[in-house]
Amino acid sequence: MPSAQPTTRSDELMRTARTVIPGGVNSPVRAFRSVGGTPRFMASGTGPWLTDVDGNRYVDLICSWGPMILGHAHPDVEQAVREAAAKGFSFGTPSENEVLLAAEIVDRVAPLEQVRLVSSGTEATMSALRLARGATGRSKVVKFAGCYHGHVDALLAAAGSGLATFALPDSAGVPVSSAHETIVLPYNDVSAVEAAFAEHGDEIACVITEAAAGNMGVVPPEPGFTAALRRITREHGALLISDEVMTGFRCSAAGWYGLEGEPEGGAPDLFTFGKVMGGGFPAAAFGGSAELMSRLAPDGPVYQAGTLSGNPVATAAGLATLRGCTAAVYDRLTQVSDALIAGATEALNVAGVPHVIGRAGSMFNVFFREERVRDYDDARDQDTAAFGRFFHSMLQQGVHLPPSAFESWFVSASHDDEAVDAVLAALPTAAAAAAAA
């Protein structure tokens, strides 16, 4: 499709970026590899809108991959950041905001008694894994194919052939020895979990799962799946880690846990958080019972630390964001998601494009296939070329979707009727583009 939009500055920046940054980007999905074309470099954002360096304006459906739940440059968050920054950027001593943010998180998610603050979701899951291994004295980890938990060695593992066999590295640079400590199973498959534990139950430190999967597109756990994980881990003395880095404080005030309710048999042992709780700054956390968390240094033998952990500016942003997440915010997220799902479904139906919606609370995406998606094999069995055409048509019309068929679309409470209508108006043309092979 011929571009009506100027892209000269973005193209120039990308050329320079490629010379000084690998692939031109600091996180691979930003490079547009799966949809083709050159990424747009953003200059500013306000509410639901992004403006790129060539002056093109977009409705943002990435929202920084989740953190911008209140919209860009929300006045309350901006003020909190300014006030914090004016008092100094980092002390390397305890400071008040980290206590307030930890308390805010613990208040929201009932099973949590304590959280340790870190700077990224990757750090949160890496540290939770170490704690689980330290607490159980075991080394093996179960994860599910298609679930992403950050770029932790042991979690960048792909399924080996056959159930309950050890995994293979999914990235160069991950030692086979590290991947071999990981067992990768199909998501939503209780019998695979049973089989893995029947064979290796006394070696498994923990099961880590996305509370609701959002990194293979959106695939919620089937009813009873989380409860089954709880039951099986408990039977074998392993811990259950619920990764709520994406779902936390987005699916509800208490994340997916709040939406799904406590699984029969009890809550997960450890939770990980990131994204929303940093309000767009680097802040993340992991937490659980006081007893379990007491195994961390300085009280316990499991070492974990961070120069910028609990950073006063980042925690101010996170605190202002969480405090801004009122019931009205969650209502609006639901309304916006409902409206966009209805619009996308209608447009794709009219254009005759096979599709199915994946949804977990206000996280959702379109899979370009007919049948329901239950796991990663299903998610991969879709028409990604159709998504690419759809994506570029939306982009041309001023709507910036995540540049991959395997990502959630993210909305914010600042997506007002103008922004929603702009997306709805773009959908029929994009659906037609998806249909035209």
Ligand X SMILES: *Cc1c(COP(=O)(O)O)cnc(C)c1O
Closer residue to ligand X (CB): 120 or 309: 120
Query: Least distance (Å) from ligand X to the CB of residue 432?
Result: 32
Verify binding: residue 120, ligand X, rule CB under 6 A.
yes
Using the rule CB under 6 A, which residue among 39, 121, 255, 287 binds ligand X?
Answer: 121
> Judged by CB under 6 A, which stretch of 120-128, 168-176, 224-232, 395-403 contacts ligand X?
120-128
Query: Least distance (Å) from ligand X to the CB of residue 299?
Result: 26
Using the rule CB under 6 A, which residue among 52, 210, 269, 378 binds ligand X?
Answer: 210
Verify binding: residue 242, ligand X, rule CB under 6 A.
no
User: Is 148 an annotated catalytic residue?
Assistant: yes
Which of 58, 148, 187, 376 is catalytic? The answer is: 148
User: Is 257 an annotated catalytic residue?
Assistant: no
Positions in 304-343 near ligand X (CB under 6 A)? none
Which of 52, 243, 375, 378 is catalytic? The answer is: 243
Verify binding: residue 215, ligand X, rule CB under 6 A.
yes
Using the rule CB under 6 A, which residue among 52, 181, 189, 243 binds ligand X?
Answer: 243
Verify binding: residue 148, ligand X, rule CB under 6 A.
yes
Verify binding: residue 150, ligand X, rule CB under 6 A.
yes
Query: Least distance (Å) from ligand X to the CB of residue 52?
Result: 23
Verify binding: residue 149, ligand X, rule CB under 6 A.
yes
> Judged by CB under 6 A, which stretch of 108-116, 117-125, 230-238, 306-314 contacts ligand X?
117-125
Closer residue to ligand X (CB): 60 or 243: 243
Q: Count of residues binding ligand X (CB under 6 A)?
A: 15
Verify binding: residue 287, ligand X, rule CB under 6 A.
no
User: Is 376 an annotated catalytic residue?
Assistant: no
| Burial classification of residue 305, based on how many CB atoms lie within 10 Å of its CB (0-12 exposed, 13-18 middle, 19 or more buried) | exposed
Enzyme catalytic residues? 148, 243, 275
Enumerate binding residues for ligand X (CB under 6 A): 120-122, 125, 148-150, 210, 214-215, 243, 245-246, 274, 284
